[in-house]
Amino acid sequence: MDGQDSRALMSDAAAMQSQSAADHRLNSRGENRSRLVVRRTPTPGIWNPVKIITIASLALGVWIAANTKSILYGQSIDPLDYETRKNRLLSETPLIDGHNDLPFLVRLQLNNQIYGDNLQFDTGLASHTDLKRMKMGRVGGQFWSVFVECPRIVHLDDPNHSVRDTLEQIDVAKRLIANYKDLQYCDNARCALQSFKRKRISSMLGAEGLHQIGSSIAVIRQLYELGVRYITVTHNCDNAFATAASTVTETGKDSGLSDFGHAAIREMNRLGMMVDLSHTSHRTMRDVLAITRTPVIFSHSGCYSIGKSMRNVPDDVLRMLSDNGGVIMIFFAKKFVRPEDPENANLNDVVNHIFHAASLAGWDHVGIGSDFDGTGSVANGLEDVSSYPRLIEAVMRRGATDEQIKKLVGENILRVWRENEKVAAEIQNGVDSQPVESFWEGRAQPSFEGSLPSLKGFQ
């Protein structure tokens, strides 16, 4: 049976149920009427006031019985009335996108100068994202990426500006958020929900690659202090912690997660820093899923079975994700959505990825992570941040229920975030609660020429 048949059946069944409930109420009111008539001595004639009041009450009762449910719960909405379903759903659940790279465009094109007429974020930009279109797209929350590129270095420990540049991206993202009253900076899941109730777009920070921390676990802690709530384990380069998907594409070699990477995951779990597995190699995904104590995210990924790119997630990992409790947030980047024919990648391809992930991992484990402003071209039909309602309607037409779509648009990522907060609190209150002090053996150790007191050998 395909989606449309099942929707038609649902519609018929709902209609029959509603009719039968109304009939039942009518009968019950009818019996009441006979009892009233028997007890009283009626005055003949149609203008008998008792009769008029009784009939009016009956009519009112029948109307209330027929409409109360739809007034209170809106359950009488026709399943094929996509517009009403979309409106209701997006007014009840925040749509939270997992990945948007606008701050990186601001860095590249505006040197992070956002004031005055430099960045017309509220009125309109030529890129994928601005405030006006976010409102049209009914965006309820956004993880803004504080991405900087992999450093151009030969050895991993060569000096580079990644940490400085990441701090600048955190700075500009926070200034951007603070500059618009429609945006609300959030560093916890409760804030994201409260902002939605106050009709503001919750704005969170995510870093896109452990190359951004200079091979130092201490920097993960400091990024957390600064409000970053997820870090992608790799971007398009290997780092001291793990192998990237791009490396496997180029060399075929996949070393997965390093021992130092294990230590980083342990610290991220302890902090409640969500572990993002987008961009990582498949072996890295499996290695992390085997050890993490918290649900992971894929902030912007697709399914390998639908689009044969190493950047996408294989089926066995989708099943592992279900056991882990995490979420894969599906992206719109043409080259990954339909790698064999990117030019024609469209909205329906994105829906294919969503349904494939849902069929293997379950509807509790899918989300949306567009990658707007982080990729040159996005799927036809999903051109910018105003497009989300179109995607939701396509998912509805494919047969998903409103409950499933609520999970997809926001409930799942909020659950995963809350779970990370909860597990982190448990770890921090447990016996093995101290911060991880592991350091990367590949780094040059500090030295000092001259004489200083010794910490060891106290007498």
Q: What distance in Å separates the CA atoms of residue 340 and residue 289, rounded to the nearest whole number?
A: 29
The type of residue at 339 is P
Find the catalytic residue in 128, 211, 300, 356: 300
Q: What distance in Å separates the CA atoms of residue 320 and residue 360, rounded to the nearest whole number?
A: 10
Q: Is 225 exposed, middle or buried (0-12, 13-18, 19+ CB in 10 A)?
A: exposed
Query: Do 414 and 192 form a contact (C-beta atoms < 8 A)?
Result: yes
- For every residue of 272-316, DSSP letters joined together read T-EEE-TTB-HHHHHHHHHH-SS--EEEEE-BTTTS--TTSBPHH
Q: How many CB atoms lie within 10 A of CB 179?
A: 13
Question: Does residue 371 have an active-site annotation?
Answer: yes
Question: Does residue 349 have an active-site annotation?
Answer: no
Q: What distance in Å separates the CA atoms of residue 148 and residue 316, rounded to the nearest whole number?
A: 31
Query: Do 382 and 347 form a contact (C-beta atoms < 8 A)?
Result: yes
Find the catalytic residue in 128, 211, 262, 279: 279
Tell which residue, 296, 385, 423, 421, has the closest CA to residue 97: 385
In residues, how long is the chain? 459
**Rounded to the nearest 10 degrees, what angle do helices 102-110 and 162-178 cross at?**
110
Question: Does residue 165 have an active-site annotation?
Answer: no
Query: Do 286 and 317 form a contact (C-beta atoms < 8 A)?
Result: yes
Question: Does residue 99 have an active-site annotation?
Answer: yes
Query: Do 311 and 245 form a contact (C-beta atoms < 8 A)?
Result: yes
Tell which residue, 184, 183, 91, has the closest CA to residue 410: 91
- For every residue of 58-78, DSSP letters joined together read HHHHHHHHHHHHHHHH-TT--
Structure tokens at 361: 């991992």
**Rounded alpha-carbon distances, angstroms, from residue 355 to 247, 302, 392, 424:** 28, 11, 12, 31
Find the catalytic residue in 128, 235, 262, 356: 235
Query: Do 361 and 322 form a contact (C-beta atoms < 8 A)?
Result: yes
Tell which residue, 169, 161, 202, has the closest CA to residue 101: 169
Q: How many CB atoms lie within 10 A of CB 58?
A: 16
Residue showing tokens 């379950």? 362
Find the catalytic residue in 97, 276, 287, 371: 371
Residue 53, φ and ψ in degrees, nearest 5: -65, -40
Find the catalytic residue in 130, 208, 384, 411: 208
Find the catalytic residue in 97, 99, 130, 238: 99
Q: What distance in Å separates the CA atoms of residue 449 and residue 255, rounded to the nearest whole number?
A: 38
Question: Does residue 78 have an active-site annotation?
Answer: no
> CB within 8 A of 3, min separation 6: which ones?
397, 398, 399
Active site residues: 99, 101, 208, 235, 279, 300, 371
